[in-house]
Amino acid sequence: MSGCGQVDANTWSCRFRFSISLSPEAAQRQADLTKDMEIVVRGSEEYLNETLDLYLDDALVDSLNIGADLQGRAVTDIQISGSGVGANQQQAVFDALNNMKRLQTILITGSLPVKLTIEKTDAISPVLGEEFTKNAVKMGLLAILAVGVVIFIRYRRLVISVPVMLTMLSEAVLLLGLAALIGWNLDLAAIAGILIAIGTGVDDQIVITDEILSRSRAQQQILTWRQRIKRAFFIIMAAYFTTVVAMLPLWFAGAGLLKGFAITTIFGVSFGVFITRPAYAAMVEFFLKE
């Protein structure tokens, strides 16, 4: 917060300010776009004649004035300011904080054509950030290993637990590869969607395995391997369509963070049903077929 003041007897106003950092390429692009703009005076401040429009899910949510001092300059550190109003100082502070968080959320979720990083008073060093990445990878691998151990305890067969772990890893690689291919920034909601998709995949693999192993000998003599796998995939496809239908409202509702969760979940379960589940079924059939 940069200060509060009373506008009139019934209105208070508080201003906020935070910084963003642009890459050199983005700063140069900003300079090229603003060098020919005109300078206009609004009140006691000078601005460029065009505004910076912010969109979220293709809807205009805010417009920011561009300071005249940014005209044609490749500036990498930029200040964004705004205000909030209320009947008293407390309400004005609350409104200003909400407006600031709203702007920060729009910038973080990648609504602009350039990547922005909000500066905070507490900074994470590159070394620490690299350590976080390593720890995240380690925890992911440990989680896959833990699931493999549980599957091994359940079935007592490495030829089942190892393919389950390989399938989980494959689904994660496919989703992360898709995100890298389309330049998709993964937020916490998208990561949650990845976890949901992988967890659903393990459940489907258990369905396939149980369908193959739990039949009585009389039934096994009647049903072929492919017939038993088809029975399992009937259950899997029913669960798949249920999940997709449940996620579609979140996709089309226009809620930014929930939309990322829905998209990740739908792509994840689709990769699983059409790629990794058939691959797992083929591996199980190869290893267990008598």
Q: What is the 3-state secondary structure (H, E, C) of 94-162?
A: HHHHHHHHHHHHHHHCCCCCCCCEECCCCCCCHHHHHHHHHHHHHHHHHHHHHHHHHHHHHHCCHHHHH
pLDDT of residue 120: 41
The answer on pLDDT for 223 being more than 80 is no
With the C-alpha atoms ordered 157, 163, 169, 172, is the resulting torsion angle positive or negative? Answer: negative
Mean pLDDT of 220-239: 69
Rounded percentage of the chain residues whose pLDDT exceeds 90: 0
* Fold of the domain built from segment(s) 126-288: Multidrug efflux transporter AcrB transmembrane fold (1.20.1640)
Which tens digit of pLDDT belongs to each residue from 16-43? 888 887 888 888 888 888 888 888 887 7
Looking at per-residue pLDDT, the higher value among 173 and 131 belongs to 173
Q: CB-hemisphere CA count at 13 Å for 267? A: 23
Which tens digit of pLDDT belongs to each residue from 41-58? 877 778 888 888 877 666
State the amino acid at position 121 in one-letter form.
Answer: T
Q: What is the mean pLDDT of the chain?
A: 78
The answer on pLDDT for 256 being more than 60 is no
pTM flag (> 0.95): no
Distance between CA atoms of residues 139 and 135, nearest Å: 6
Looking at per-residue pLDDT, the higher value among 101 and 149 belongs to 149
| Per-domain boundaries in the chain | 3-118, 126-288
**What are the CB-based long-range contacts (under 8 Å, 24+) for 49-58?**
54/103, 54/106, 54/107, 54/111, 54/112, 55/111, 56/106, 56/109, 56/111, 56/256, 57/254, 57/255, 57/256, 57/259
The answer on pLDDT for 285 being more than 80 is no
Alpha helices, DSSP H, located in 8-62: 24-34
H/E element, 284: helix 277-288
